[in-house]
Amino acid sequence: MPPIQDIGAFNAVREAGLAKLLPPVPRVAIGMGTCGRGNGAEGIYHAFADLIGRTGMDVKLVSVGCFGACFQEPMVNIRLPGEPLLVLRRVQIDDVARLLQDISSGRITPELVYCKLEEWDHITSTVKYGRGYPEVPSWTEVAFFKGQKKIVLRNCGLINPDDIEEYIGIGGYQTLYNVLIDGRPDFVVEQVKASKLRGRGGAGFLTGNKWDFLAKSKTDPKYIICNADEGDPGAYMNRNEIEGDPHSLLEGMIIGAYAMGASQGIIYIRAEYPLAVHRLRRAIQNAREYGLLGNNVLGRGFKFDIEVVEGAGAFVCGEETALIASLEGQAGRPRPRPPFPAQKGLWGKPTNINNVETWFNIAPIVSKGPAWFSETGSTKSSGTKVFSLVGKVHNTGLVEMPFGTPLKTFIYDVGEGGSTPGRAIKAVQTGGPSGGCIPREMFDTPVDYETLQQLGAIMGSGGMVVMDEDNCMVDVARFFIEFTHSESCGKCVPCRVGLDKCLRILTGITKGIPGMRDRLEHLDELARMIRDCSLCGLGQTAPNPVLTAMRHFRTEFEDHLLARHCEAGVCQDLALSPCENSCPLRMNIPRFLQLYQENQIEDAFLSVILDNPLPGSTGRVCQHPCTMRCRRQTLDEPVNIRDVHRLIADTVFASNNFESIVKRIIARKLEPTGRKVAVAGAGPTGLTAAFYLALLGHDVTAFDEKPEAGGMLRFAIPEYRLPKAVLRREIELIERLGVNFVFNTKVGIDLPLNELADRFDAVFISIGTWKDSWLYLPGTELKGVHSALGLLEKMSRGIPAPIGPKVAVIGGGNAAIDSARSALRAGAEVTIYYRRDRSDMPAIEEETLAAEEEGARIVFQALPHRIIGDQDGAVRAIEIEKTRLGEFDKSGRRKPVTTGEIQRYECDTVVLAVGETFDLDFCKASGLELKEEGTLIVNRFTLETSRPYFYAGGDVITGGSNVSNAMGFGKQAARNIDERLMGEKRWDRLFPEFTYSQQPPAEPSGSRRHNGHLIELMLRSRSNEEVVTGITPKEAHEESCRCLRCDVKTNVSAS
């Protein structure tokens, strides 16, 4: 190929290139970026090549770069002449033969087709592929691409990066040619200035101004450098840009060189990107051959060449002065600025450095004009930015969006929400190790340079790492500091030593090293000092992850330091095992499983009951958060922990040895202290507190407004889920420990708090949420409208339920399901109306499924509109309004949005189960402070209220919750009340030593999970008999063997 010297030769190449892109034969293009290759694209390429060779089909096979949707790799584009380009996803080698058959038959089966492109705007030209395939969505209709605007990625994944003719074919190098013919370099600089393009490397300095500096400099030679030293963990847009479309970079640089009068260009790229380096070198060689680089560019007398320099991968070399030092053969350490590179850069000569993506934007700006460019984006940041959306999000990949797009669009629309069911997204980390974490409450934030900076994060190179509830923000901060710490060059003191100190403190917090309590302030002070005093951008931004984490997630830091608890279960040194960490009662679960496995039933029971005073009841109704992070589910399913401890409790309560075990428990009681503690409310929270306080030797009196203890367990949870006999035995045991019960006494009304203060040394308030939230709905005054709790309480007391044959239940929590199932047992026909979707229901999933089996109908996305009565004032029907799922709200769930569609259902009874509340005005009167939402203010760690010696726990501080959470508070309160009353830590004295094996299983047990057995549908749906029979001793033994014993931590020495 002789170098192009005139427009005729150029146009000939252009036509040849376009013909390659739109051949008269089928064209198959395999996405062969690093992401595609990692997913097997090479194998697919060879499979196609083999089969095409063998069958002799007339098919053009090429490799292209990445189209952006990395979660759908390997991707293949197929285009038949005259038809749209079809983008296929997750193509496997097995699919190749069938696809070729499809090609020869002239019709691609839509099974693997992700989307279609009927035409494509390459910015420098538009390619029309053809129309057809109406059943296949266009690329703009696919969630991942919706709203994206591809300026930088205009060619990626569509043209063959190794073929310069294809690039010229879609209008490439045309802009360069025009610029050279035009012959006004200063006009190009003006255009870039007017476009307000900002550097895409992270700092966002105006590119035009930088160009102007260099253009005005009279020194010769001048250098331009492309910074392709991309090194942020989780960011890879520069790599894919170069792999997919290297000529766009070259064209931008040649235009830039002409505009600024530079004669030498250097691309500094990290050696860890071998494919990008390879394609870049080939592109440069081709550009030289075609006369686009060299002594006479396009025959216009302009001299410019580009050299590729491979960097060794030091993160700090992304800092321009360090990059220059590295190019000069010195250690990559930054120099102070001024002098700026534009004054004194490479070899002391004026130098301009721009990021890969900045160079990619040049040709479109010059070709279409600055006004076109600044149409896109926000006022201060024009154009688009490529982000790498990764982490705990469903759709991952490269996303090119206009500046100013809100974060939630990226995460919930493009990313389609969290990747793990049941885990809400917590935060997004932008800007890599120099960026910060933005909590989900702030997902409305538009993404541009200024707003991100205000939140303490940065744009950086455009990494976006999504995190969910399984990510510990302290650990995330530690991870990023570990990275910058190891990448610090060591030149300036704040970054070298300061980051080392930060890392030590953060490691200390995540490992639970004692003596760290006051370190949070040191950490904050240190982080600010590093930010304000460091020499270069690495140090100045390195503390951002710590500062933002402390700003937005301070409670997590406090949890680690003050409660030794990592909510996300990441910091393993703070927990015994994932199950123990997730249990609100922090039960030593591996211990009782092992004891049961060793047939030490009595010890297993002692272990269980000393951790959880209501083992039989919780064994039936607990939400079992323990299984949430059980590691067994990485093999098959989590261990059925709840049913094992239910069986242990049931077995021992019914055994002949029960009395001897009770003696063993009573023997654990500490000597009487003479201190008196009142417990207001004998529900699960109060019972738990009373149990431990009695064990600790205090004189405990528990008050309750009801005639019996047990709270919600007794009066709200129906008999068929929790037989009252089970609960009664457990309460009896608490009584035998010496707890006095006073019933039918309402604390605050019958017994003022101030009187309790006189009679007792400490008071624990644990009344439940007995007041139903009432829905403001027309028709709630009608006869036949009931509250769920009122109804459940009546039924649990054996009073016949005042319900008719057709019942409508409104709500989606456990109370809704319980009332529905109770109504079924009373012979009614039941429909549940819930405003969100099934996956958002707060009720325990098994219970919902059982209710449906028993005949309850659930209508989702249905918001009550009004209740209609007849002339007697009785309920006749309910009207609901259909909802659709709208945007994600701050809880990470989709908000139900009304649609206006009203549906009417006949019924005669309506049960409102829309949450519970309480009346705590009496607390206010006694000097206890309340939050705005009406709950009591307590110290999160001690549970002490604003009034000394008054403690509170359970629903009164959290609002309606569940039994295990409530009991967790009771346990925590007892421990703190004791410490406060006695002035010493006596808690550990309650617990005996257990002897059990400390060997993890050599091989995981092969048995599958056993679930509790539901009794037969015929029997259960019309009776109050307990519906789940639990598991058998043999099954329980197998379950206990399935435990992987995460609690056994052996130091494996690195030998």
Name the site residues for another protein (rule: CB under 8 A). Answer: 314, 316, 331, 333, 335-336, 338, 485-494, 496-501, 504, 522, 525-526, 529, 532-535
Nearer Cβ to another protein (522/985):
522
Listed residue (233, 223, 225) closest to 313, CA to CA: 233
DSSP annotation string for 174-227: HHHHHHHHHT-HHHHHHHHHHHT-B-TTTT--BHHHHHHHHHH---SS-EEEEE
Distance CA 823, CA 818 (A): 8
Query: Cα torsion at 451, 457, 460, 465 (round to 10°)?
Result: -110
Distance CA 486, CA 585 (A): 39
Query: Do 308 and 267 meet the contact criterion of CB atoms below 8 Å apart?
Result: yes
Nearer Cβ to another protein (535/809):
535
Nearer Cβ to another protein (443/483):
483
Least Å distance, CB 324 to another protein, is 15
Measured CA angle at 300 (ends 298, 306), to 5 deg: 60
Backbone angles phi, psi at 577, to 5 degrees: -160, 165
Listed residue (202, 283, 200) closest to 248, CA to CA: 283
Nearer Cβ to another protein (332/953):
332
Listed residue (523, 517, 474) closest to 500, CA to CA: 523
Question: Angle, nearest 10°, between helix axes 499-511 and 554-562?
Answer: 60
Nearer Cβ to another protein (504/986):
504
Distance CA 944, CA 961 (A): 19
Distance CA 395, CA 995 (A): 49
DSSP annotation string for 877-943: EEEEEEEEEEEE-TTSSEEEEEEEEEEEEE-SEEEE-S-EE---HHHHHTT--B-TTSPBPB-TTT-
Nearer Cβ to another protein (343/600):
343
Least Å distance, CB 490 to another protein, is 3
Nearer Cβ to another protein (534/597):
534
590 contact partners, CB below 8 Å, separation of at least 6: 576, 577, 579, 580, 1043, 1045, 1046, 1047, 1048
Distance CA 370, CA 383 (A): 10
Least Å distance, CB 326 to another protein, is 12
486 contact partners, CB below 8 Å, separation of at least 6: none
Least Å distance, CB 505 to another protein, is 8
Least Å distance, CB 236 to another protein, is 24
Least Å distance, CB 483 to another protein, is 11
Nearer Cβ to another protein (134/338):
338
- List the strands of the sheet with 76-79, edge to edge: 60-64, 27-31, 76-79, 85-88, 113-117
Nearer Cβ to another protein (284/489):
489
Least Å distance, CB 229 to another protein, is 15
Least Å distance, CB 456 to another protein, is 15
Coil/strand/helix, residue 743: coil
498 contact partners, CB below 8 Å, separation of at least 6: 526, 529, 530, 534, 539
Least Å distance, CB 232 to another protein, is 18
Nearer Cβ to another protein (134/329):
329
Residue 798's Cβ-count burial label (10 Å; 0-12, 13-18, 19+) is exposed
Nearer Cβ to another protein (499/863):
499
Residue 181's Cβ-count burial label (10 Å; 0-12, 13-18, 19+) is exposed
Nearer Cβ to another protein (265/537):
537
Query: Do 199 and 210 meet the contact criterion of CB atoms below 8 Å apart?
Result: yes
Query: Do 634 and 640 meet the contact criterion of CB atoms below 8 Å apart?
Result: no
Pairing between strand 264-270 and 223-228? parallel
Coil/strand/helix, residue 1043: coil
Least Å distance, CB 500 to another protein, is 4
Q: Where are the alpha helices (DSSP H) in 436-472?
A: 449-454
Distance CA 673, CA 986 (A): 12
Nearer Cβ to another protein (185/199):
199
Nearer Cβ to another protein (175/321):
321
Distance CA 798, CA 619 (A): 24
Nearer Cβ to another protein (247/485):
485
Nearer Cβ to another protein (314/810):
314
Least Å distance, CB 315 to another protein, is 10
The sign of the torsion formed by the CA atoms of 668, 671, 672, 676 equals negative
Least Å distance, CB 480 to another protein, is 15
The torsion region of residue 105 among left (phi > 0), alpha (psi -120 to 50) and beta comes to: alpha
Least Å distance, CB 325 to another protein, is 12
Nearer Cβ to another protein (531/1042):
531
Least Å distance, CB 914 to another protein, is 51
Distance CA 843, CA 861 (A): 16
Least Å distance, CB 923 to another protein, is 42
The torsion region of residue 68 among left (phi > 0), alpha (psi -120 to 50) and beta comes to: left
Nearer Cβ to another protein (492/726):
492
Q: Which residue has the tokens 């019972």?
A: 687
Least Å distance, CB 522 to another protein, is 6
Least Å distance, CB 488 to another protein, is 4
Least Å distance, CB 494 to another protein, is 6
Listed residue (265, 266, 262) closest to 216, CA to CA: 262
